[in-house]
Amino acid sequence: MDPKPPTRLATAGYLVVTALLVLFLAGGVVLVASTAVGAIRGDHTITVDRVIVPEHVPEPFTALPANVEPTNGSIPVTVTIHDARPAQLFLRLAIDLLPLLLILAALWQLWGLLRSARQGDPFTTANVRRLRAFGWLLLLGWPLVAYLTTNLKAALADTAPADVTSGLGLSLLAPPIPLALVFGLAVLVLAEVFANGLRLREDVEGTI
């Protein structure tokens, strides 16, 4: 079967995903480099997200406007750590790098799919594997990364100086349940559709 010429949509998608891959990869390199420089120079500032109950916030910050209430009885805050130590910097790096690596892995699978679509023959065994990998990255990879980053944030927050958190009842901001679980299931179903379509085509070609 001769491959069909690439469509404009496939070409546009391929170029966009390629650009995203380059950008995210460059962002990861910059992130690692800036962390290394900060660890050497010792003058880096980092932040970690927490939540605080209103009664632990000193006046006048507890005076919320009328009809305004904290969500779930808490207020999101950001704890800033100046002159972070190397261990704190690398905890912050891990928190930022884990989601980035997951996104890069997902983009890599998508890039392979779109490259195959540009070549005019997306129904291949390799694309079935890519779809399955993409689905599992969303279904299992995203919750795992969320769990790991939550624990890393807790470890980083525990290293904050006492003068920063003194008198404040801080707790960790729980991550929301991601829609990635739904999309992951949908992609895995699509992978099985691809696999069945590929088997049907092979059966048809085998009878000719």
For 136-147, the pLDDT digits (tens) are 998 889 889 988
Mean pLDDT, all residues of the chain: 80
Count the neighbouring beta carbons within 10 Å of the beta carbon of residue 124. Answer: 15
Q: What is the pLDDT of residue 3?
A: 54
Separation of alpha carbons 162 and 203, rounded Å = 69
Residue 143 CB contacts under 8 Å (≥ 6 apart), including other chains: 178, 180, 181
pLDDT band for position 1 (cuts 50, 70, 90): very low
Sign of CA dihedral 47, 48, 50, 55: negative
Residue 102 has pLDDT above 60, yes or no: yes
Of the listed ranges 5-9, 164-168, 197-201, the least confidently predicted one is 164-168
- End-to-end Cα distance, the chain: 12
Question: Helices (H) and strands (E) in the chain — how many of each?
Answer: 6, 3
Is 77 within 8 Å of 170 (Cβ atoms)? yes
What's the pTM value of the predicted model, to 2 decimals?
0.79
Neighbours of 161 (CB within 10 A): 11
pLDDT of residue 19 exceeding 90: yes
Report the SS3 class of residue 83.
coil
* Residue 188 burial class via C-beta count within 10 angstroms: exposed 0-12, middle 13-18, buried 19 and up: middle
Residue 180 has pLDDT above 80, yes or no: no
Residue 179 has pLDDT above 60, yes or no: yes
pLDDT over 50 at 72, yes or no:
yes
Question: pLDDT value at position 20?
Answer: 94
pLDDT recorded at residue 98:
94
